[in-house]
Structures are given as structure tokens and as C-alpha cells.
Chain A
């Protein structure tokens, strides 16, 4: 079989829609186009039944007791916005402090920054070298004013899986709400809001082979009953928490994607972890001074993040981008021109943050692709090192840290 190029290996950014998902969605664009809130005719009933079914499929994936606890949104970013801003507003009387981590994703960071401007205090708990947040550190950060802990389930860059169940337990003990951004985790690894003490959970369809444009916020209804202020006012859809017509085809796709993920999770996770390990070994056995970022075991099965000392990430991507789609923590690949704050937060040298490459495997990744990507990555890194002054100096025994760099 010939390899089809370019190879997509950026599955923490998005995933392709599974053909089974698309098939489930299609009728809801044309013949089954009703509005799920139209209560008085069959078109509405049909749409409502489809949305209810999707809600149940998503609820099952995350272990929610009641499908009504699933609120459809436009995606992960909206879910995070709704969870954090909605809780901050609703519980303003109770307190004004939120605890999160230094490596939570951009949406959480940006929402927190806005909330800070509105008088909410935020603590960004640091993480260890492996990307893990310590539950004790979270406990220490809490004050009598704390209303919410928000910790991502698994990191989008390094794949590190946080001790979510322990954090949930802590939150319960302290009587504080717990939100987790499970955008990367849901559908990939077991997520159980009941067993893990999760009160609010954000997820998105397009990272689990569903369509872009739909996500969900799980909002606990019992023990405790969580209330959040809506951000969008209107027809009172989604139990008043998120007005706006539910995009039925997208919701149906989300539900189907969740069902497929749940049914195949164990097998798929095992297969992808084996492929990922193969890629990791291919690269680390052939490149010196290449470092795995994140926790070696507690990580997503389909994620691999490696920093290559002495070469800059974007230049690695450029050498590969006709053949392989990857992502880098390099400043040059970000809109802000800052290197990855996630890799930086691990306490690794900042030049290694510029050198990080993320490999994201997915349902359709093959062993052949893995071998190709591994081989080409090694070639490109070696080529770039041949033209790297830092590599040359390091080989000459120059201590790069002892030099006084004339920065721009």
C-alpha cells in the first residue's frame, strides 16, 4: 500500500469526522430539519428526539446519571467560558476565588484573565516537571473565598493526565465546585463524572471524530445541584443555561461520535498507545538530546511531545510540512510570538520550549505512517542540527548557559 501524503498527525488540534458520524448526521440537514423546540408538530418532535438521543449518548460517555445534565454549546471554548463565568457570577455572594493550573488551556487562561479584571481572584497552581499538578498544592491554594477549582483533565500539548478523581474528592471535602476541561480526554480515556466527583465538565465533538461547532458542558444536577448564570439569553433552551437553537445535525454527530468512542475506547487506546510508543522509540533511539515532555505514563495514549535540543520547532515543521501535519510549541508558530507556556511551565530550559514538537495520533493512523513520520523527523532534525550554531558549540564543549547572549 502506498502512503498517502500529507499525513495528519495533529489530532490534539482537531480530528476528521468518522464516516459513521457523518452518515448519522446527514438526514438532519435535509428531510429531518425540524426545530427541537417546536413542540406542536412532528418535525419538532423528530428533532427533539434526535437531540435527546444525542444528549444521552454524550451523558453515557462521561458517566452522567441524567442526560439533562448535558448542555449543548458551540464547542469547548464556549463550554469553558460558560462554566467559569457562569459559576463566578452565580456564586459571587459566596466567594470570589478560583483555583486553576499554570498549564490549563488558552480558553481557561483567557477567561481567568477577564475574570481577574472583574475582581475575581485566580490562583494558577504550578505543575511539576512531568506536568502533574499536586493535589496538596491545590488544597494549599484554597481560601474560604474559593468557589471553584478548574483543572484540565488531560493537557492539549503534553497529554499529561491530572489526578482528577483526587481533585474531585478535595473539592467535595471543601464544598467547592470542580470543573474539568476534558476536551482532550473525553472519548479517549475513561471519564466518569460520578466516580471522579466532577461538577462541571467541558467537552467538544471535533476532537473525538465528530463535527466542529458543537460541544457540551456537563452541569451536575444532584449532590450538589450546580447552578450557573447563562451567558446567552434568548429562548431558554438547554434548561435556560444556553439559549439558541440546538444545531441538530451537529448534536446528532456529537452523540454518535461519543457512542463510537465509548464502545471502542479500550481497544483504540491500546492500539494508539502502542503506535505512539513505537514512534517515541523510533525517534529517541536515533536522536541524542531529544526529551520527552510530560509524564512518561500518565498521559493520553495518542499524544507524544518531544523537545529537540539545538533546533527550533518551526524549522522542524517546515522541513516536514509537505508530508506531515504536526504542531510545535515554538514561538514562531503561535500568534503571540511567545513559546509554549505549557512547556515553559514544566521548568525546562526556555530554548527547549522553542524546540517542542507535538505528534497527535488518531483513529486512522497506521503503523506505516508512524514509521514514515519517525524516519522523516529524525532526518530533518539531523539536517537542522548540521546548520545549528548551538549544536556545533555544544559539540565543541561550550557551555551555552555560560555565554552572554546579545538578545534582540
Chain B
């Protein structure tokens, strides 16, 4: 080489230029390529690259928890695994199906049955809502074309005890009944999405951006006290079973705040297993079903009479001969009570007395009062299918219409409306809106009765459970309670039935400082006992006893009340 260059310097220079030219060409080539990749093909390549690395991942969002007033869970979502298949992919590797032979979760025969008829599809469900461990028994076998999907399933820990109230969701986790339906907007969480970079073995190595923020569902806290709910459920079930009744409801209200503390119905159902469920057992009868309130409404009639100053508790009425004729119809008492005062008449539930009072009133007077007590319109709680009840509005009242209304026929109410009306009396004459969710402080109410009338009414309700009254069985050991019975003929095929009844009791406690209201409805008790005082009153007694004990109300006839003053005095 050395010799050659020395011999021919010109050729060396040529070669040098040649090489330089090649290098330049290479450089230009590189630049062209770089421009091509970075400018001309940039978009295409970037997209292709992203398609290989970037993945959109779901951000989980739970449906909100429904809990009772103390945070005990009533409805909880837990993740479950759903197995799905891509039949096209699955069919390409049928050999590996043998791995599923005799698999307890999904065996190869079932797989074939699901996949073969759907061979043209790209998505079929194989098994929905499996426990994650169960799904793992299939997924760990790595059968091609079988995938997992995380879904949420709703569980109801209190099951039958709260089912009518809480309702349930369908398989896609959308509320179908009860609170689950009415609070669907708030409870539902919206799953979010984010873009991530995954490496070769599928690990997420970089968060790129949040596409949709996950919005977790809000929790809903009800006003229900699960302890009281259970108690009411147990007592109602016992009574419905014992009297062979077709159904029933119990509602417990806190009259000071308007909160619903318990609301149970029979027949019930288990929301966790709804196979073969009869639609009739799904109704929350306490708010959807109406009935004629019968004698339980005499409380309002009497309150109207007392409020207008027409009578006083000691006014004497002549109920002889135990019947009264109005517009050609005969209204009867249970028996002839003779000449009695208003208090006794009320405690015996005398229809004659109530009729006489009603006929003395102005035509619109009772109707207006019933309206102010909240009858004839829904209470406004957020519950699907709440009934308005029926309060007839007439411009002219015939005597018989006014009379029947005064003892609770010719109108219809829900158990909740009845409880709301009795809460007026327990809350010093002020009607509060009832609430299904926890309220922080008592809402502004609307005065319906004067304080003085309310006090008289409380005593009247107490007289009903006295030895002379119709509801001795409603008494609660250790506490003063009051209430009113009702026994209503049911309407069967458009006419009042002679032997289908509804047994009612509505009452308040404790009488010295009324706060709690309980309404009991037993529908069509089939046994010999059917009077409200025999069937519904004992349920009231047991429920109210539990309510007062659970909520720490001091019994009146306790052997020794160790009051704070006495204890402090002992120490000083």
C-alpha cells in the first residue's frame, strides 16, 4: 500500500475523494431516513408503538355501602369473577380443553355446550359471579380463549330483616327495588379508565394519563336501627305465623326527628337468593299497600273535636242503645255501653260516640284535619312506589259519609302514614316530615294540634290500654304506653267481607314523655282471634318493650333508680 501511494499520489487523492463521497452519501442517507421516520412516518410509527405498549386499564369503583344509623352494613358490594370466552380462539385449540375434564367449576362438556353453538361470536359468558378462588381453578389451567372479568356482586348481610327496605340490584349491579333503586344515582360508582405503559411481561411501568376519573359510589346511611329492625321482624314473623295471617307490617318512628327506626313486612324474602321469588313477597307493604284505618282513625276524629272545644274528656255521651241510624244505615257499637264519658267511649272504641261527634262538626272540619295529619298524600320518603292513600275530597258531605270517615272507613292509608299521624300526637302536636335517612337535627315541623289538646290525647291513648280499654295486651311492663286498636273488615271482591279482617294497632310511648311510635298491621289473621286488641296489640307490646329497652329509656316502676343526684349526694 505504501509503495503504491508513493508511486501514484493522484490515485490516492481520488480514492480519498471517493471514500469521502461514500461517507457523505451515508450521512445523507441517514438524514433522509431520520427525516422520513421522524417527520413523514412519525404519526404512523408512534401509533404502532403505542399499540404495542400502551394499554387502557379500568379503575375500579365500588357501589356505595348502605348502612343502618350506626353504620352496620345492610348492602355491600364484593368483587366476583366472571369467566368469559372468545369462541373463535377457544376452538382453535380444542386439545387443551381436556385440561377441564371433571373440573368442578367449568368442565369440558359444559364448555363445549357453550362454545360450539356460538362459534362465530367473539364474546360469550361462561360463568358469572364466581368467587375469585373458584375462578382461579379454571384460570390457572391457561386454556386459550378463556378470560376473566371482574364484576361486583351485592350482598345483604341482614338478608330478610331489611330486604323490603333495602331492595336489591340485578346481575349487572343496577338497583331494582327499594333504596337500591331510589338511591341508584348516588350509590352507583362510575368506573374510570387510565392509560398505562406495559413492559414485555405485562407489568405496568408507567402511568400516562387518567382518561376518566373513577367515581366511587356514595355510601347511604339510613335512619333504620338494625337492632330494632330485627326485633320488629322477629315479632311480626312470630305473630303472622301464629295467627296464620297472609301478611303484615310494623313501622317504628322516632317522633322527635321523624326518622323511621324500623320498617318490616311479611311475607319476606332473602335478597341473597331470589330464586323462585313471588312478586307479592317483594312489596314493602308498609308504604305501598293501603288499607282502611278503621278505629285507629278515631284518634284524629277525637282530636278534632277536642281542638275545636266541642267536647272535653269528661263530657258525657249517651250511646244507648248501642246503635245509631244515619241516612238510613245503622252504625253499631260492639255492645251497648250506656251513658259514658268521652274518655271511656274512646277507650271502648265506641262507633256511636264517634258518629255523634262527627255529625256535630262542620262538614269540612274533619277532612281538613285529616289532610293536616298527612293523610291522602305520600310522605315523600325516597322510596319507589309509595302510595298516596285515599282521602276523599268532597265539597258536600252527606251525613253517612262524614260518619263513616270519622271511624276510618271510606278512606285508605299506608302503615307509614298512620305512624306519621300518631307521631304528631307524640311530638306535641307538630307534624314532622318522616325520613328514611339519618337526620342531623330535627326538621322544621308544622303545628297540627295545640299543645293542650295533644296532652289530652296522650292521656286518652293511655286510657285505651287500661283495664277498661280494648288494648290491655298492648301494655308494656315497666312503662306507660298508649295507643288505639283497629279491626277492619277487608274488602274482598268489592264488598266488605264478614270474615276477612285487618288487625291494627297504633301507639306511642313512653306516655310521660312520648317519643316512639309503633304501628302494627296484621293482614287477614285466619284464627279465632282477629281483633286489633288481640292480634296486633301484643306485637306492639313486645316491639315497644324492645324499643324502649334498646334505646335506654328508664322504666318507671324500676325497683330503685340510682339517679345522679343521689349518687353525688352519697359521695359528698
Q: Do A and B bind each other?
A: no
Instruction: Tell me the A residues contacting B by CB distance below 8 Å.
Output: none
Instruction: Tell me the B residues contacting A by CB distance below 8 Å.
Output: none
